[in-house]
């Protein structure tokens, strides 16, 4: 008897080999995703300079506040001297001894806030007497190293990376605020 071929209840599977190439649609999707990623990253890289100048301003504000706290803690007068040694991106926090700012042996902090690390920041306009903030034993701003008179409102402008900030020191209280110019 001849053999009867039985039909299989399941359809026969054919194996399709996939090539190692990508389709045009897949390539377009990848290019679009890379374009979106680049559009998000490039503005962030451009703002790095502005973040650096802001870091310089924050450092200065912190050091002024520390000088005030140091004056209170040691019940001794302090001075923050900007443009120290004719460098517009340097300042020192120093003791006031015998009515004079001691920048030889009395330096507490010596800071450089310029250079590439801080967006090439430099001191600009100011209304400080002798480019110095004088602080009394209570951390309040005063007119001079021997004065007991409160200083008027004072400011220092810091500029760099096409930005300018004004650091304000209020009269009497010595409160430090920052203003974008």
What value does the mean pLDDT take over residues 121-147?
92
b/e burial code for range 61-79 (CB count within 10 A of at least 16 → b): bebbebbbebbbeeeebbb
Which tokens is 73 given?
């803690």
What contacts 163, CB < 8 A, 6 or more positions away? 50, 53, 54, 119, 180
Question: pLDDT tens digit string along 57-98?
Answer: 999 999 999 999 999 999 999 999 988 777 888 899 999 998
SS3 call for 43: helix
- Name the band, by pLDDT with cuts 50, 70 and 90, for residue 102: confident
DSSP-assigned letters across all residues of 63-103: HHHHHHHHHHHHT--EEEEESGGG-TTEEEEEEEETTEEEE
- Name the band, by pLDDT with cuts 50, 70 and 90, for residue 10: low
């Amino acid at each position: 008897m001849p053999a009867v071929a039985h039909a299989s209840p399941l359809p026969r599977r054919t194996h399709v080999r996939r090539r190692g190439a990508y389709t045009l649609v897949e390539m377009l999707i990848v290019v679009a995703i890379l374009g979106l990623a680049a559009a998000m990253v490039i503005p962030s890289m451009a703002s790095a300079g502005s973040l650096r100048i802001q870091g310089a301003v924050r450092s200065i504000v912190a050091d002024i506040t520390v000088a005030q706290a140091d004056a209170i803690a040691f019940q001794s007068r302090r001075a923050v001297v900007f443009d120290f040694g004719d460098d517009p991106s340097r300042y020192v926090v120093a003791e006031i001894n015998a009515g004079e700012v001691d920048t030889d042996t009395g330096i507490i902090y010596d800071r450089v806030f310029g250079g590439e690390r801080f967006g090439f920041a430099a001191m600009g306009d100011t209304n400080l007497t002798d480019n110095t903030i004088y602080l009394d034993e209570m951390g309040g701003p005063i007119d001079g190293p021997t004065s007991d008179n409160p200083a008027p409102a004072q400011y220092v402008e810091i500029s760099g990376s096409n930005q300018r900030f004004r650091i304000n020191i209020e009269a009497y209280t010595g409160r430090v605020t920052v203003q974008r110019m």
